[in-house]
Structure 1
């Protein structure tokens, strides 16, 4: 099992950008020392609540602080961005990191982002699939002619090519059945988001495997999974910490328009606690290690992508959680 650190945003524009840069750099250096082998950065546009730096330059900068770590976009909003631009950006990143890139992609969900890019409702899947196919062809090194519905190229042969032959592995994110099937047939891995319950994660993992088998595609070599994880001296202490994080996190996602299949809804009291139990790994270091081991053993998780930063909580708390994960949870899993 490998470990990835998620460089997510917890600050809005009122916080100095340099502070976020320096705190992410500290996370990366500490994670590298703790045995993490991957850093992950996602993408959003025009965010007022949280500041997202664009992932390719961000990962390029952060990789200088941990030159041996792999890097992954988690995720690029491929239904919105230009595929020619993204093909060459990812090729550049692959060169700069000596071929240590994963290309994580997804559809997106925020109406204001789709509006800003002129993506009409009903187009996003078609745009995604056309863009991914074109990117793969541009990474092939061959001349490409493609008359697409959204983007066309003629006798294109980019000089900017990735180190990895054929391009970086493609991790496709999403939490609906359609997204999982798309990952099975068009991607190299399904990148599981943290929103589904543990039971839903198992169901979608089976769907991914069965769809891949039915399509005659070889088993995936990687299975990256995001689960929220809280370490404390007791399970009750971890639950109380999770309650604070849960409310702050999903309030932001609701503002951005996240909804649909396998997405948590508004709950309170015991219902909220039960919801957290179904989605979080939490408790003592031993309990957290057991939960992660179970995911590796039962569904074949190869990469656990960990997010210590949470909106509304100080960076020092993220560092405390990361330190405990590296010093108390990782040794239990290694043994």
Structure 2
């Protein structure tokens, strides 16, 4: 099968010790090169108060990066809606959609870091209800209709919004998460489940089946987008790819754990970072990687694959070589 769409992640790999211009310049080069290789999406996520990694905020950052790769769609992957004011987020994302000429995808989720919840004065116990109310209000504000909304946390009385997205009714909504309740929310409230790289191959298949079953039960379409992140290393051999994966992922997954990532289908084991390379990564030669991506498309219905070449501690030149190899030896066989 062919017809897959591919995205690139300008992944934060530096902290405050690195000049900001270095990070920005490297990401500009990354997305520009990805565009030339046939990638159609760029993805930027959201965190706050990151000491280990510097996350520039996605809306202004994607707006800037889109100038380096103007044909690409932009994806907020993901915005932490449970900590946000939905009126502000609705207008921020609508503005991004306008500035990218209707090429925005709204990726959104709950968040997990106690440090972030505490800083925003939000109880983690309220994250699901805040997320659900916030998303409902955002959809109303994007509808083009007058809005009267009374929820558990926010009230909007008889307002006709003027800041509307370029896309009628708003950008597609991709909901992230890896626990079964999150997948059920994605099935009922979003346009797609944006699957993170944490579940095992077997776990991913089970969660995908859950998503489709919930959609079918609710009489919702089951043939929509399935955007997917998996960690991927392409090399001359599978053994070499596995070695590189172990080296490159250890620090990243240690950082995830230090931020509080835990729960169902998450890497929480120490000291290896909680990951099983063979169970979570796509690995091997270009032909082996093509086969594995093709299987995800055929068996699970994957429509978009989001690729990460940057890792903490990995020189930018090595990340660019990995992008070049993927874009030259893998991607053309699947688009």
Q: TM-score range by the shorter chain?
A: over 0.9
- SS of equivalent residue, structure 1 residue 308: coil
Between Structure 1 and Structure 2, how many residues are aligned? 332
Matched, 1:21 2:24: yes
Deviation, 1:331, is 2.4
Residues 29-68 of structure 1 mapped to structure 2, 5 A cutoff: 29-68=32-71
TM-score w.r.t. the length of structure 1 is: 0.97
State the partner residue of 2:159: 156
Matched, 1:291 2:292: yes
Per-residue deviation, residues 224-254 of structure 1 (Å, max 9, x unmatched)? 0000000111111111101112211111001
- SS of equivalent residue, structure 2 residue 132: helix
| Contact 2:268-2:274 at 8 Å conserved across structures | no
State the partner residue of 2:78: 75
Aligned-partner Cα distance in 2 for 1:284–1:54 = 35
Aligned-partner Cα distance in 2 for 1:224–1:170 = 11
| Contact 1:189-1:220 at 8 Å conserved across structures | no
1:198 to 197, 201, 206: 201
State the partner residue of 2:138: 135
Matched, 1:281 2:295: no
| Contact 1:230-1:282 at 8 Å conserved across structures | yes
- SS of equivalent residue, structure 2 residue 211: helix
State the partner residue of 2:216: 213
- SS of equivalent residue, structure 1 residue 123: helix
Aligned-partner Cα distance in 2 for 1:224–1:331 = 18
Deviation, 1:313, is 1.0
Aligned-partner Cα distance in 2 for 1:85–1:137 = 13
- SS of equivalent residue, structure 2 residue 82: coil
- SS of equivalent residue, structure 1 residue 298: helix
Deviation, 1:268, is 6.6
| Contact 2:216-2:222 at 8 Å conserved across structures | yes
- SS of equivalent residue, structure 2 residue 75: strand
TM-score w.r.t. the length of structure 2 is: 0.97
Per-residue deviation, residues 293-324 of structure 1 (Å, max 9, x unmatched)? 11011111010000100011111111010000
- SS of equivalent residue, structure 1 residue 287: helix
Question: What CA RMSD, in Å, does the superposition of the two structures yield over aligned residues?
Answer: 1.4
Aligned-partner Cα distance in 1 for 2:223–2:94 = 22
| Contact 1:42-1:75 at 8 Å conserved across structures | yes
Deviation, 1:15, is 0.4
- SS of equivalent residue, structure 1 residue 122: helix
Aligned-partner Cα distance in 1 for 2:145–2:40 = 32
State the partner residue of 1:321: 322
Deviation, 1:97, is 1.0
State the partner residue of 2:88: 85
Per-residue deviation, residues 73-100 of structure 1 (Å, max 9, x unmatched)? 0000000011001100111111111111
Matched, 1:145 2:148: yes
Aligned-partner Cα distance in 1 for 2:174–2:319 = 26
Matched, 1:105 2:108: yes
- SS of equivalent residue, structure 2 residue 83: coil
Aligned-partner Cα distance in 1 for 2:224–2:216 = 14
Residues 229-240 of structure 1 mapped to structure 2, 5 A cutoff: 229-240=232-243
Aligned-partner Cα distance in 2 for 1:326–1:35 = 7
